[in-house]
Structure 1
Amino acid sequence: MPTTPSATPSTATGPSPASAGKEAAAAAPRGRTGPPPGLLLAVISLCTAVTVANIYLAAPLLGLIARGFGLPAAGVSWITALSQLGYAIGLLSFAPLGDTANRRRLIAVLSVVTAAAMAVAGLAPGLPALGAALLVAGATTVIPQLLVPLVAERAPAARRGLHVAAVVAGLFTGIVAARVLGGLAGQAYGWRAVLLGSAVLTVLIGSVTAALLPPERREVSGALLTRIGKGVAQVPGMLITSADLRRACLRQGGLFGVWSALWTAVVLLLTGAPYHFSTATAGLFGLFGLVSAMVAPLAGGLIDRFGTDRVVGAAYALTLVSVPLFLLGGHQLWALCLAAVLVHAGLVCGQVANQTLALTSTGSPATANTAYMVAAFFAGALASALTGPVFTHWHWPGVCALALLWLTAGRFLPHRRPGRR
């Protein structure tokens, strides 16, 4: 049986009743003075939304950035990849520290550094400075992946899925807000004002979240670079030894790859024949991502009641139904809209279920979460990279075929399960 992060093995030399009573008495005042669990969860979800938006803010602002520097739009598109690259670096570097470092201090420091990097980006005199600042901001915007394991650790076992779902809902809300509201705000106030405003929001909500987090006493040994190296080195071994973690990674890699392929190409479809929408109108299609925020709490409740396997099965069923609708959406807008709803519902159901499984698969939830996020991120990035050539040669039907192949691989590659529930 996998142990939850909060489980501690009992030993014959456990604490005496007297010492246990003293510990309980000492812990009681801290429990009374801490924030209500509902308030803390709401603040954590808000912090997740605000911080993750920094990774995606540059995408809807590319046209404005290009005009600001007097360059063609194609000449600045590479800066969005720097945010993603920075995020991957941050996942490997900082996320594993959640198992050993004081998370209150770590989140406070990362919030300040992220805000400073976004401020530098907003004031950047040229494209190289802007790209470097976004790279740093992406690397330090791993705060959500420090908060998710903390929530999973402290949630009651019967409500763990629901608590993780609340944070995942914040995550997807931040992504949608960055793409939709970021573009609208940029059109009204300019791209520099958007980045500077994000810097202010990041440092404010990050500081409040760090202040509200429960205090942690952890014995930290070794230099920071040494601890980062140890955390990264644990990831391969953990994937080898934990069958549950491997299943979570492969299953979510399938779902995220399908979403990445279709969502990368849908803008090309909407701005070309037969729709010929403007870029702004095509960008509003991202509002369908709000489905994720609504489905996440429902998925969390279903996980607590039926377990992760059934919810993942439902996620794959929803995504499978969406693929032929996406194909039909090549000429029928109603089918494309319905497919967008279903694929987002499937993605978030799988995310909540698979991430809950990953977080409880080992005794080091932060490191396990790092392995899970890197695997899902890699699968999505690979699918996105294949989408361009596929769309060029086989157009929209080819992208739908790629999505179906990816979905099949994600469903059947991890079919072998451990011999227990």
Structure 2
Amino acid sequence: MKLNQFAAQLRRYWATFGVVAVIVAAAGIGLAVLSPPRYVSTTQLLVSIEGSTTASAYENDNVVTGRVATYVALLTTDAVAQRVIDRLGLTESPRDLAGQISAAAVPPRTAIIDVAVTDSSPDRARRIAAAIGPEFIAYADSLETPTGEDKQQVRTKVVTAAGEPGSRLPETLSLAGLGVVTGLLLGAVAVWIRGRTDPVLRTTADAAAAGVPLLGSVAAVPAPSEDEFIGYRGLRAHLERRPVHLDQQRAHLGQFTPTPSVWVIASATGEADVATVARNLSRTIERHGGQPVVLVGDSCDPAQARALIEPARPDHTHVLVTAPPVTKSVSASVYGEFSDGVVLLAALDSSRRGEVRAAVAHLRAAAVRVAGIVVANTWKHNRTEG
């Protein structure tokens, strides 16, 4: 879909976009605002080897790298959390406390570990972060054994004490902003879905999807302006290009003289002003030197249809027959048998896709040629965005 097409859909379905965007954005902002405040206190640990020598520096570096990766995982275990709980006399379970602790190695390939504690209380966050350092060091020392030929010992110490907790307000603002952006995106998706599934014809492109030629768009108003007559001139030009085989067929059968043209004008369900369109088309044909006549065809009897059309053909260049809605009467099919084809009218914001397709199928089932679809608007400026 092109940008201008989406912009047109956005204007058309602005209510859908607004409702979805506001609901989602409000949910995101509400979640951010109502979430309890969170505070983060951090501390840093340094992992090193005591008694290392230059000769074993490379080996010791690999040992430290491995220990850092192991310690990062150990810092968030229940065992370390239990030691902190015992030290501070906390009441939560080790699993819950471990969920408040995060650890990560400072990149790239350093021996420093960042430890962060998140809590709803700034004092508790600082106390837990301060307790993790010594408790983890004691726990790690109990697990360590001397390494290497020189029996070096891996040691851990606190290099940055737990500081004053910082508020996670930026994360709250980010969550609110994410809610707004998500609301806008989902609103746009809702507009796209609405445009794809809307059963009502909204644009001329929608009308063209019925599977027959789109003959144009006209203003179905009693007194069209000169600009609005442009659509009728285009429709007249389309109808003048009727297939040559229709004239040859009629001449061969001896039914009618091949020169005059007969067009049945009808809508799918009565949503378009057929009489007004026929009169305006007749006026346009007269302006171009033609001799049109508009007839009302409301009979379902083929003999009466023939009797209405045949006398009009010799004295007119164009015979326009207005018929009842295709899906409510067989008149359009009956008169269509004696015409060059049926011009099917559709009204934007009123005609439904399924009804227009049903009308086309009805005419084709009766072996009547459908000349095409004309969008008959009741406003001055026709919509052509697709």
Structure with greater strand share of residues:
2
User: Which structure has the higher relative contact order (CA within 8 Å, separation 6+)?
Assistant: 1
Same fold by TM-score greater than 0.5: no
What TM-score results when the alignment is normalised by the length of structure 2?
A: 0.21
- Larger helix share, 1 or 2: 1
Q: How high is the TM-score relative to the length of structure 1? A: 0.20
